[in-house]
Every structure is written in structure tokens, then in C-alpha cells.
Amino acid sequence: MMNKTALLHEAKQQQQALRQLSHWKRIAMLLSSCAAVLAWWGIAGSGLRFAGGVCGVVIALVCAVCAAVIGRGIRNGNRNVANILSAAEQA
């Protein structure tokens, strides 16, 4: 069992990690949006432009999945921080 100081320190570290994850989620969403624009532009054309559009679709999907996974991690991390703070109050 950890003491109250250790629990609060752990919660602070996890909150910092969650802020970093939030930054990466924003980047993934931005890349997904840019790739969606590339896909929209490329699918309307032919040849090399069409190939760029297909790449845009793939990149947009990968980035969207990454953002969703990171978002899930943030949600679970926030729940974990709440549990740690609850345990610190009881300690």
C-alpha cells in the first residue's frame, strides 16, 4: 500500500502523461483531416492524382484509428487518476 504523498505524486505524473497523449491525439486528428482533404482532391482526378487520393484515404483511416485509440487511453487514464485520488483521500 502506498502512502498519500506517493499516490498524489503518481496521480500528478499520470496527469502529465495524459496531457502528452492529448497532444498526440490532436496531431493524429490534424493529420487525419489533412489526409482527408488529400483524398478528396485525389479521388476526383486520374493517374498519379488518383494514387495520391488513395494514399490520402489510407493515411486518414490510420490516423483516425490512432486518434480513437489514444482517446480511449486518455479516457481510461482519467478514470485511473480519479481512482488514485480517491485512494489518496482514503489513505
Given this model, what pLDDT does residue 2 score? Answer: 78
Q: Are 63 and 35 in contact (CB under 8 A)?
A: yes
Q: Which of 56, 62, 61, 51 has its CA nearest to residue 34? A: 56
For residue 29, give the H/E element and its range.
helix 4-43
User: What's the rounded Cα separation, in Å, for the pair 7 and 85?
Assistant: 7
pLDDT at 54 over 90: yes
pLDDT at 1 over 90: no
3-state secondary structure of 52: helix
pLDDT, averaged across the chain: 95
Higher pLDDT, residue 10 or 1:
10
User: pLDDT tens for residues 19-52?
Assistant: 999 999 999 999 999 999 999 999 988 899 999 9
Q: Locate the domains of the chain by residue range.
A: 4-90
